[in-house]
Amino acid sequence: MIFPATTAVFAGLLALVYLGLSGWVMASRVSGNVLFGDGGDETMLKRVRSHANFAEYVPLALIVIGLLEAGGGGHTLVQALLIALLVGRILHPIGMFAPPNSPRQFACRGGGILLTMAALAIAAIALLLRLA
């Protein structure tokens, strides 16, 4: 087994994005005096869900991609999956604040979701195929 260096680099980048999202939520909590939940504020809800959605998907994706890399998965595949994950996780919160049914909402939120799901699905299948 090799150290998953490429995954480690992207884990660091994604951690910085997560910290940015955390700060974004905290700033909204302070300015809106919302100590728990969303306080009935739609903007706060969107920020909280953007942050939570990141926390729900990124750890598992990094684990699966890291295992794929450590198990000898191709560097190009691993790098493509990690780029897709990073771009998807940056696009998603942008799309959360786009006007409903707008091209930006479709491209950013929808694109972010699709990139994240594709990265996770392809990584999972590639990992299972390596073990078969």
Each residue's pLDDT tens digit, 67-116: 999 999 999 999 999 999 999 999 999 999 999 899 999 999 999 999 99
Helix axes 5-32, 75-96, angle to 10 degrees: 10
Residue 56: per-residue pLDDT: 97
Q: What is the pLDDT of residue 32?
A: 87
Work out the number of other CB atoms within 10 angstroms of the CB of residue 103: 9
Q: What integer is the mean pLDDT of 19-23?
A: 96
Checking if the pLDDT of 11 tops 90, the result is yes
Q: Which SS3 state, helix, strand or coil, does residue 38 take?
A: coil
pLDDT grade for 21, boundaries at 50, 70 and 90:
very high
**Mean local confidence (pLDDT), 43-51:** 93
CA distance 98 to 50: 13
Predicted TM-score (pTM) of the model is 0.93
Domains and CATH numbers, the chain: 5-131 (1.20.120.550)
User: Among residues of the chain, what percentage have pLDDT more than 90?
Assistant: 86
